[in-house]
Amino acid sequence: MLSKPVPGEDLFVYLAVSNSAISSALIREELGAQHPVFYTSKALLDAETGYPKMEKLILALVVSARKLRPYYQAHRVIVMTDFPLRSILHSPDASQRLMKWAIELSQYDLLYRPKTAIKAQALADFVAEFTPSAEKEKLVNQKKESSKADGTSAEPSQPSDMWQLRVDGASNQKGAGAGVVIITPDGTLLEQAITLGFPASNNEAEYEALLAGLRLAKELAIKKLAIYSDS
């Protein structure tokens, strides 16, 4: 269910890594229930796949903070992890890469606590597991370039600073829902799923997804946005 943070409340972030991707789930809590705010996922570059697991987890936090900067600036974010990420970041033996990340993260109000919510962590793990690898993304991009060369590209080329919004709506006997995916210029995915509280056709669900996506783009202060939908 799409959930908008309340000013001043704490947010929680769950991190996950796989061999080829990293992800995070930004969560808010209300009356003991958890509500997703945003999911982020990023395919690891070849050099990044060789990072130790601890460094991959820290990179997942760095990516989350970069892509969801307005949320990290406006809220205290509690990092839910069973790994000693804070100690690693502030170790006197930290590598230059870790020191750089530590400085970048120091601008935010971050706390580190042991994980308690299995559901939120499971969602972050799922997103990481099914994020396409950098190699797969490279093949997809090569196919797109080939299509452009043949004059058969379905999508026009975009400026390097262009963000993308992709929306999809679905309706069945159990109700209506919508999916919102924002793709950053560097290919990071920001995802939200929306459950509509009223009956709606596929087109109506997609329209609601578009409105939700535009609101999110405004919150993230996105300046250039290309919108894609099935309708």
pLDDT digits (tens, 9 = 90+) for 182-196: 888 888 887 776 665
Q: Which two tokens stand for residue 105?
A: 């993260």
Domains of the chain: 11-132 (3.10.20.370), 156-229 (3.30.420.10)
pLDDT digits (tens, 9 = 90+) for 5-49: 888 999 999 998 888 889 898 988 888 787 888 888 888 989 999
Distance CA 186, CA 162 (A): 10
User: What is the CB-side half-sphere exposure of residue 109 using CA atoms within 13 A?
Assistant: 11
If you search the block for the tokens 């993230």, which residue do you land on?
A: 220
Q: Which two tokens stand for residue 58?
A: 């820290």
pLDDT digits (tens, 9 = 90+) for 98-134: 999 999 999 999 999 987 655 556 556 655 554 545 4
pTM above 0.95, yes or no: no
Phi, psi (rounded to 5 degrees) for 122: -65, -40
Q: What is the pLDDT of residue 58?
A: 97
Percent of the chain surpassing pLDDT 90? 30
pLDDT band (50, 70, 90) for residue 223: confident
